[in-house]
Amino acid sequence: MKAAVALFLAFCFAPGVVFATGLATCDSGPQSSWQSQETLTKILSDKGWTVRRIKIDGGCYEAYVVNDKGERQEAYFHPVTLAPVPTKPR
Amino acid sequence: MVKVWDPLVRASHWSLVVCVALTWASGEGGNAWHEVSGYLACAIISIRIIWGFVGPRYTHNARYARFAEFVQTPSVTFAYGLRVLAGNEPRYLGHNPLGGWMIVLLLTCIALTGFTGWLYTTDRFWGVEWVGELHEGLAIALLCLIATHIAGVVLASKRHGENLAAAMLHGRKREENERA
């Protein structure tokens, strides 16, 4: 009974261990060749976007932004070129 | 056997197990189930907390729903802990002192995790790093508490020759001398 409970919990907790939103992946190479998050923040702020945070997800930069229309977006960018990366639909 | 856990206590325990497991399973990628199960967990603990103040008290038929009955003072809890280490702790019909505090910690952790999760949905705090990180940190802390909780239940069950998980399912425990 307890083994079953433990197994059930382990099964449910396992997928959650990787903290990623998982909407895109990038073939980005070593981090030494990446442009900085500050550079990305500047580019996005110049567009009138508010950058709340930038994470690294799937080898891409994932930016949590409020765009110029006030809409929330999780936007992905290639860390070397800073080009936008299209996201898989959820 | 005597009735120890009333239906609401038992139902809230096991539905929380399901909800917390669901929040973990749905934690990534903005799955809608994550918020649903999170808010549901918060609703369940709200009910349990109210019940902990107005629920059935110990009577001859034995109900141990109230926090006042199983949350002990720090000195009593510490003394109990020492006896656990010595291997001669008394058996409690309701929750033992350490178990009582574990319940307080679990309820608090679920509440804080749910609250920070909700905060993250607001315009003010969406995407804000410290809120997101705090939520994730609390979720991990909850996991650690649960692992400790299960270990405690197994230990107490072995020490006193009873199946505490089953007792939380059907509500009955062996009636015996308590609080030696």
Supply the range of the domain harboring residue B60: 2-88+97-173
pLDDT tens for A58-69 read 899 999 999 989
In a domain, A81, yes or no: yes
Q: A2 or B166, which is more confident?
A: B166
Q: Reduced to 3 states, what is the DSSP secondary structure of residue A56?
A: strand
Question: A55 has which bridge partners?
Answer: A62
Residue range A1-13: mean pLDDT, rounded: 61
A53 to B24: CB separation less than 8 angstroms, yes or no: no
Q: Does B55 touch chain A (CB under 8 A)?
A: no
In a domain, A43, yes or no: yes
Supply the range of the domain harboring residue A79: 23-85
HSE, side-chain direction, 13 A CA sphere, residue A74: 19
Question: A57 has which bridge partners?
Answer: A60
B127 to A65: CB separation less than 8 angstroms, yes or no: yes
In a domain, B180, yes or no: no
In a domain, B178, yes or no: no
- Taking the alpha carbons at both ends of chain B, their separation in whole angstroms is 19
In a domain, A13, yes or no: no
Distance, CA of B176 to CA of B83 (rounded, Å): 19
In a domain, A38, yes or no: yes
Q: Residue B85: CB partners within 8 Å, gap ≥ 6?
A: none
Q: Does A90 touch chain B (CB under 8 A)?
A: yes
Searching chain A, which residue's CA lies closest to the CA of residue B148? A6
pLDDT band with cut points at 50, 70 and 90 for residue B59:
low
pLDDT above 60 (res A1): no
In a domain, A4, yes or no: no
Distance, CA of A63 to CA of A85 (rounded, Å): 11
Domain count, chain B: 1
In a domain, A75, yes or no: yes
In a domain, A35, yes or no: yes
Q: Which of B26, B28, B128, B129 to mutate to test the interface with A (most CBs of A within 10 A)?
A: B28
Question: A51 has which bridge partners?
Answer: A65
Q: In the block, which residue shows the tokens 């096991």?
A: B14
A1 to B165: CB separation less than 8 angstroms, yes or no: yes
Searching chain B, which residue's CA lies closest to the CA of residue A21? B29
Q: Does B154 touch chain A (CB under 8 A)?
A: yes
* Radius of gyration over every alpha carbon of chain A, rounded to an integer in angstroms: 17
Q: Reduced to 3 states, what is the DSSP secondary structure of residue A57?
A: strand
Q: Can you give the pLDDT at residue A16? A: 47
Domain count, chain A: 1
DSSP secondary structure letter of residue A50 = E
CATH code where residue B106 lies: 1.20.950
* Nearest CB partner across the interface for B21, out of A12, A52, A72: A12
In a domain, B137, yes or no: yes
pLDDT tens for B109-164 read 999 999 999 999 999 999 999 999 999 999 999 999 999 999 999 999 999 999 99
In a domain, A80, yes or no: yes
The ipTM of this complex is: 0.72
DSSP secondary structure letter of residue A48 = T
* Radius of gyration over every alpha carbon of chain B, rounded to an integer in angstroms: 18
| Contact of A26 with A78, CB cutoff 8 Å | yes
Q: Can you give the pLDDT at residue A88? A: 72
Q: Worst-scoring range by mean pLDDT, B96-105, B139-148, B169-178?
A: B169-178
In a domain, B54, yes or no: yes
Q: Can you give the pLDDT at residue B178? A: 47
Within 92-121 of B, beta carbons closer than 8 Å to A belong to: none
DSSP secondary structure letter of residue B145 = H
| Contact of B172 with B6, CB cutoff 8 Å | no
Mean per-residue pLDDT over chain B, rounded: 92
In a domain, B147, yes or no: yes
